[in-house]
Amino acid sequence: MKRLAAAFAAALLCASGGAAVPVAGPDQALIDGDKMPRKLSEFGLFVSGGAALQAGVVPYELHTPLFSDYADKARAIWLPAGTKAEVGGDGTVAFPVGTVLIKSFSWSGQGGGKPVETRLLIHRKDGWTALPYVWDADGRDATLAIGGRRVPVSFTEPDGTPQAISYAVPNKNQCKECHAEAGAIIPIGPKGRNLVFAPQWQAFRSGRFTWPANRIAPLPRWDDPKSGSVAERARAYLDVNCAHCHNPKGSASNSGLFLRWTDDPTGVNYGIGKRPTAAGRGSGGMEFAIKPGDPDHSFLIYRLESLDPGIAMPELGRGAVHKEGAALLRQWIADMPEAKKN
Amino acid sequence: MRIHGLSRTAYLTFAAAALVAAPASAKTISVSADTPDANEKLQEALIMAVSGDVVELGAGTWKLTDGLSLDVANVTIRGAGTDANGSILDFSDQQGAGEGLLVTSDDVLLTNFAVLNTKGDGIKSKGADRIVYHELRVEWTAGPKETNGAYGIYPVESTDVLIDSVFVRGASDAGIYVGQSKNIVVRDSFAIENVAGIEIENSYDADVHDNIAMRNTGGILVFDLPSLPMQGGHNVRVFDNIVKDNSTPNFAPKGNIVASVPTGTGVLVMANNNVEIFDNAFEDNGTANIMIVGYRYPYKDDKYQPLPRQIFVRDNAHGRAGFAPGFPGGAEMAAAMGGSIPPILWDGSGNAIVNDDVGVLSLNLPDVQTPQSEAKPSPVDLKDSAPAALPGIKLPASMEAKVQ
């Protein structure tokens, strides 16, 4: 079907009298430059006229993904010809200049499942650049929305609840709020321990990624009990959904709440017995971020289950409550022995 | 009150002389509230600005649904005024983001506009060195409500912070809150009907002067809290302020430390080192004009120091105080002492020198583990010879030049 569409598009071009257009791949010069093209198609990452990936742009998945309003996310990566990404011993990936990380957001109940938004994270010489594109109504191309946008979106939650939300496409600065480490933009999701190498990825992995000698244990899948205990899956969830801000170099550094996979989960800086500091209304009248054995009096849960902008966490990119994620964290806190209580 | 304006004027003259001409490429980007998609247009302007630019907000009201942010260094956001005819960023219908405006770049000047009714904080700056907040209004227009946002003006993790001539009202935590920062001046500002009017928390080297803090729950707070990346707050001077009628019942969400501030508090120092409180005018603070206490909550942080140390109080003018102590047992204490307690209250922990000619009441709770219920209040004399004066705060000349 995709191939057919491409052939049709090519035929149209010929019919219009233009010279035969070669199947353009990603435009590396544009990727490497400093432009912010108005149209997503200019990068050549997608087959012209839709959201099908261009040859050489490889889809990937994550063990535990970031929740974004129940969106289906299609992730893909472009590595420039002849380059390799190097996975470090701590699981971080050194992507070469010229890399593009691509993430498209869609909902099956929305516009026939066509993507609503595509975000690019481009590794340029002077660092990573984040660009948000909103797909045009005809689904043939997407337009830069540098100031962000709100898009009405309808979908059905996994438990059957119909939802209509005002989906927030982040502005360029908001991309940075989550993706910043010590003020510079970095990728969040594709870490060595979180990348899934499905069979179709295997060749790409071996050819384009170099791995450290010591094996990196994969992050548990938050929703797969076979992949880890409740506590392990809860911590994987917190790592992916929270730790990009809640780390000593992230946007929430001043909170003193650090939720990385590598942080000590028994410490006060992990939230157990931690009193609110700049939480404002986010404390919900509770004394502790995490009160062992008592999720109803743990304001970490309160903030995850709220949609009020003065309370909700994360602050950006969440217009719906992730009921299943919150349920996992509730169970984790409920299971904690109260003896650990501060 | 002494007038400190003279020395400031002399300093400013010097600062203005040092002002360097703006780069030739600098431009003014004017944005109007009257265009469709004004929210997006204004955000685009803040993204497309380059160093040296002024983003000029026309007069009018922006109805904003999402937080704005600035991440470009050396940019000015300038409005046409803070009153109803000025430049109003109205967040009454805000759907996303934890604050109205977020600044994450250095050398930014924010001046002459209003931010109203944000769901979370009003204006936050994080890691934004040499930021200047000047002639701004941040307000929750319905007055004190628990559902108001937490902080009005909220610089955090920054070096060199100037807050000058701002008006804040209605914050459910602190109107002006400076956290985990260094080299700070808060002056000529007006904080009314917040839980805390002005709060300096986990910060080093601050001058809070010539402000009016009235009808808050607590007027001016100097705090140090555990389990935060930057702690050991010290070197804070609170002087030449009017701290009056801080009588608004505490409307902070429970759980927050500020929810424990007794209604009727003038200046409250908790667990800080080297704080000077002088030349202020206090009046009608029902609990106390000045309170000096330790941090009395359990904490797990070996580096934390919960006691107030080297607190120095002198030359303040004390009006009526202590007539409605807003802490457990306070009413009984006041009754026993003839209707009111002395204007200065010390929990008995750490150390302080009080040379004001008014009474000091000690609760005699020297270690912070002893519960307040075991207080044994008694008058105490804390007069002693003055310690060496703390140095005043000097901000970079480039910052002072911006407010001239």
CA distance B10 to chain A (A): 36
Q: Is some CB atom of chain B closer than 8 A to the CB atom of A147?
A: yes
Could you say which of A256, A280, A284 has the minimum Cβ distance to residue B172?
A280
Which residue range forms the structural domain that includes residue B277? Answer: 140-393
In sequence order, what are the residues at sequence separation of 6 or more whose Cβ sits closer than 8 angstroms to the Cβ of residue A194?
Answer: A62, A63, A64, A91, A218, A219, A240
Could you say which of A256, A288, A308 has the minimum Cβ distance to residue B119?
A308
- Of all residues in chain B, the percent with pLDDT exceeding 70 is 94
- Cross-strand pairs, A101: A77, A121
The answer to whether the Cβ–Cβ distance between A275 and B118 falls below 8 Å is: no
Which of these, A46, A14, A42, lies nearest to A30 by C-alpha position?
A42
CA distance A164 to chain B (A): 14
- CA-to-CA distance for B400 and B391, rounded, in angstroms? 18
Judge whether B96 lies within some domain.
Answer: no
The answer to whether residue A130 scores a pLDDT higher than 80 is: yes
Report ipTM (2 d.p.).
0.81
Judge whether B51 lies within some domain.
Answer: no
Which chain B positions have a beta carbon within 8 Å of A176's beta carbon?
71, 104
User: DSSP class of residue A290?
Assistant: B
Question: Cβ(A341)–Cβ(A290) under 8 Å?
Answer: no
Q: Is some CB atom of chain B closer than 8 A to the CB atom of A183?
A: yes
**Token code pair at residue A170:** 């982040």
Question: Cβ(A79)–Cβ(A99) under 8 Å?
Answer: yes
Mean pLDDT of A292-303: 95
CB < 8 Å from B in window 197-216 of A: none
**Token code pair at residue B375:** 């207080």
Which of these, B329, B321, B386, B378, lies nearest to B352 by C-alpha position?
B386
Residue B36, pLDDT score = 81
Q: Is some CB atom of chain B closer than 8 A to the CB atom of A294?
A: no
**Predicted confidence pLDDT, tens digits, chain B (404 residues):** 443 443 444 444 444 444 444 455 789 999 999 888 888 899 999 999 999 999 999 999 999 999 999 999 999 999 999 999 999 999 999 887 789 999 999 999 999 999 999 999 999 999 999 999 999 999 999 999 999 999 999 999 999 999 999 999 999 999 999 999 999 999 999 999 999 999 999 999 999 999 999 999 999 999 999 989 999 999 999 999 999 999 999 999 887 888 899 999 999 999 999 999 999 999 999 999 999 999 998 888 888 999 999 999 999 999 999 999 999 889 999 999 999 999 999 999 999 999 999 999 999 999 888 888 888 999 999 999 999 999 999 999 999 999 98
Judge whether B333 lies within some domain.
Answer: yes
The answer to whether the Cβ–Cβ distance between A183 and B173 falls below 8 Å is: no
Which chain B positions have a beta carbon within 8 Å of A147's beta carbon?
39-44, 47
Residue A280, pLDDT score = 80
Judge whether B59 lies within some domain.
Answer: no
Number of domains making up chain B: 1
- Considering only CA atoms, give the Rg of chain A: 21
Q: Is some CB atom of chain B closer than 8 A to the CB atom of A139?
A: no
**Token code pair at residue B224:** 């140090």
Judge whether B101 lies within some domain.
Answer: no
The answer to whether the Cβ–Cβ distance between B39 and A147 falls below 8 Å is: yes
Which chain B positions have a beta carbon within 8 Å of A299's beta carbon?
255
Residue A339, pLDDT score = 53
Judge whether B242 lies within some domain.
Answer: yes
Residue A298, pLDDT score = 95
Question: Cβ(B392)–Cβ(B123) under 8 Å?
Answer: no
Judge whether B125 lies within some domain.
Answer: no
- Encoded amino acid at A333, one letter: I
Could you say which of A148, A172, A251 has the minimum Cβ distance to residue B66?
A148
Could you say which of B120, B256, B300 has the minimum Cβ distance to residue A310?
B120
Could you say which of A147, A267, A287 has the minimum Cβ distance to residue B43?
A147
Which chain B positions have a beta carbon within 8 Å of A145's beta carbon?
40
